Amino acid sequence: MREFLLKTAERLKKRGYYRLSFWFLERARRLGAGEKAEKMLREERQEYARYLLERAREYEVKGDFTEALILAERASELGEKVNEGWLEDLRQRSRKQKEFETRLLLNPASMGFQFASNYRKWLFSLTGTPRFSHEDDSSRKVLPPQLLRVWKEAYQKPQDYEAQYKLALNFSIYGYTWEAISQAQKAESLKKTSEVEFLMGMLYMELGEKEKAGEKLACAVELDPQNQAAYYFLGKLFLDMDEEAALFYLRRCIEIDPNTDVAESALDLLGGIKREVEV
């Protein structure tokens, strides 16, 4: 596993996926590939820090201040010079964003109508950039009864991981992707499990956030090495990022249990890769 992580990190760096590359290197170091991983981490540190700052600016423009702050602070920790005024501005905006989302997501009584509309207006007023889950407000003015029931349960049990995770899952089922991510982060803060990491990985895949999706899905298999679906989607995700890693994850998916629908889908993907290689 250590060699796999190191080689994958090297290939990902060459292809411009610095965030995932660094993540794999850190995992390799934790698994005992100390000297080699440390050397690679030192070599990549400055380049990775600059990459983080670029990505932080992108997330700021999108209105995701929390993610922008995480990346900017990480760049600072790695030794990159970061404007303190900008960092403080991100902290304030992130704090406001979290406070708003917490009030919104944990108070269904006040959100029976025009949920998506209110959420968008607030985010747009902060950034000028719309961050929302649905194109059409008109079909979302009344939340589905099932979602409201789950929401009320989460509101009544704010420290209950199961209730918070269930709400995140239901947001995802009903197509509220951003809201699902915000709620999944709350569940994750209560307990880090394979199921919540997997859910977040799937949501980030839906948004096209490949590196964040890769981190979360890899966390899911770390926490539960028998999470067959996580291996499958890691394989699928890596198809256009690193084919060798994709092969590894798809084969691992099949090894867990070859007699499932997930394994059958993995075999189909694996067959497609092999045919491309043969041609």
142: which strand partners?
Answer: 113
Q: How far apart are CA 184 and CA 135, in angstroms?
A: 22
Q: What local confidence, expressed as pLDDT, does residue 152 receive?
A: 86
**Cα separation values, 271 from 68, 229, 275, 276, Å:** 39, 18, 6, 9
Tell me the C-alpha to C-alpha distance, in Å, between residue 248 and each of 1, 8, 217, 220, 253. 10, 10, 14, 16, 9
What's residue 250's pLDDT? 95
Domains of the chain, CATH where assigned: 1-105 (1.25.40)
Read off φ and ψ for residue 142, nearest 5 degrees. Answer: -120, 125
Q: Which pLDDT tens digit goes with each residue over 136-180?
A: 443 444 677 888 889 889 988 989 999 999 999 999 998 888 888
Q: What angle do CA 41, 201, 272 make, to 5 degrees?
A: 90
Distance CA 237, CA 86 (A): 33
pTM: 0.81
pLDDT of residue 248: 94
pLDDT tens per residue, range 71-120: 999 999 888 899 999 999 999 998 887 787 776 666 655 554 344 444 44
Phi-psi region of 80 (alpha: psi -120 to 50; beta: other; left: phi over 0): beta
pLDDT per residue as tens digits for the range 41-54: 888 888 888 889 99
Of 177, 67, 68, 184, whose CA–CA distance to 131 is shortest?
177
Residue 278 has pLDDT above 60, yes or no: no
